[in-house]
Amino acid sequence: MQSASAPETVRVMIVDDHEIVRRGIAEIIERADGLDVVAEAGSKAEAIRRAELMRPDVVLVDLQLPDGTGIELMQALRESVPEALPIVLTSFDDDEALAESLDAGARAYLLKTVHGAEISDVVRAVASGRVLLDERTVTRRRADHDDPTADLTNAERKVLELIGDGLSNREIGERLGVAEKTVKNHITSLLAKMGLQRRTQVAAWVAGQRASGWRRS
């Protein structure tokens, strides 16, 4: 058992249908302090099974899998293992793939040309609650929608409302019947989608909208 002052090890799962790629990523992560590869998977179905069994903190996801897509996998994990934070690691360098990854809950988007040390750094950052997404896509999506909440999931909309009501994360979790960590994950996601940085900005935005006659959905 770790002491109170000892940092927790970040549990990582790697999902890629190429075994050589998986092993290479695993070696990079295993060499990094504070990171531990607890599972690997080569398909969407295998990834879901192993994630539910091992409950990783962070999941590195390739977008192209033999039985589906990384987008579908992230959507499934958001329901079954919501505490697992996804990072896309792919060869697809285009706005559409990045935007779909954002919608599916990705906390970071990396190309496979990235340096090994950067993968470890991003895993640590995401595990600590940060979102590392391409700012140009977030900016473009804000410009495409007059309503910055247009891309929020139903769960994120509920959390948004309750933040506006002044509830704490714990109180929101109790109201929605979910863990406080799940609430924090929803807040991290909605901040990225709305182009905001802090919880207080969300509360201020809701207050402003309500004052202007915004209707709750």
- Spell out the per-residue pLDDT of the chain, length 217, in tens: 444 444 589 999 999 999 989 999 999 999 999 999 999 999 999 999 999 999 999 999 999 999 999 999 999 999 999 999 999 998 877 667 777 888 888 988 888 888 788 899 899 989 988 887 644 445 555 455 557 787 888 899 999 999 988 899 999 999 999 999 999 989 988 888 887 878 888 888 887 777 655 444 4
CA distance 162 to 140: 27
pLDDT at 208: 73
HSE-up (13 A, CA, CB side) for residue 180: 5
Write the CA distances from 93 to 30, 89, 203, integer angstroms: 26, 10, 34
pLDDT at 1: 41
- Torsion angle of C-alpha atoms 62, 64, 70, 73, degrees rounded to 10: -120
If we measure between CA atoms, which residue out of 216, 153, 156 comes closest to residue 182? 156
pLDDT at 7: 56
The CATH number of 154-212, from 3.40.50.1580, 3.30.559.10, 2.70.70.10, 1.10.10.10, is: 1.10.10.10
pLDDT at 6: 43
pLDDT at 174: 94
Domain 10-142 has CATH 1.10.3720.10: no
Task: Indicate the angle between helix axes 95-103 and 135-144, nearest 10 degrees.
Answer: 80
Locate the domains of the chain by residue range. 10-142, 154-212
pLDDT at 15: 97
**Burial class for 115, CB neighbours closer than 10 Å (0-12, 13-18, 19+):** exposed
pTM over 0.85: no
Neighbours of 132 (CB within 10 A): 16
